[in-house]
Amino acid sequence: MTGAAQCDAVGTMTSETTMTESAASLRLIKLVHTAVWVFFAGAICAIPVCAASGRYGTAVALIGIVFFEVLVLIVNDWRRPLTDVAARLTDDRHDNFDIYLSPWLARHNKWIFGVLYVAGIVLTMLLWAQT
């Protein structure tokens, strides 16, 4: 009887440990995903600033870096790769379950920054053409 009780206690501890490890892993994924988002959101916002200040080489470099991320999204059916990793750790499927953003921003993120990205490219081309 003592053996069964210990087995249950060990099983419970293992289950709690697994849940704690999953929660910690999810927090790490959300943190990394948010840091990557900040980098790319910053790059997209910097494109028109660089173009407006005549730093076309920097603007083009940022356009290329963000384009690489767009290719990653295209290859992954418009899903962020970390989303699939986070989905294995939780049943939560809110718009921001895998990133530290507001639900509204997480839901509309691709449209908002997609428009800003294209606008930055157009502005860069127009300003560069005028020089």
| pLDDT score at 16 | 72
Find the Cα–Cα–Cα–Cα dihedral 28, 34, 35, 41, rounded to 10°. Answer: 170
| pLDDT score at 100 | 98
0.75 exceeded by pTM? yes
What is the domain extent for residue 118?
2-129
**Burial status of residue 33 (CB atoms within 10 A of its CB: 0-12, 13-18, 19 or more):** buried
| Closest of 64, 66, 57, 81 to residue 114, by C-alpha | 66
pLDDT at residue 54 tops 80:
yes
- Domains of the chain: total: 1
pLDDT at residue 116 tops 90:
yes
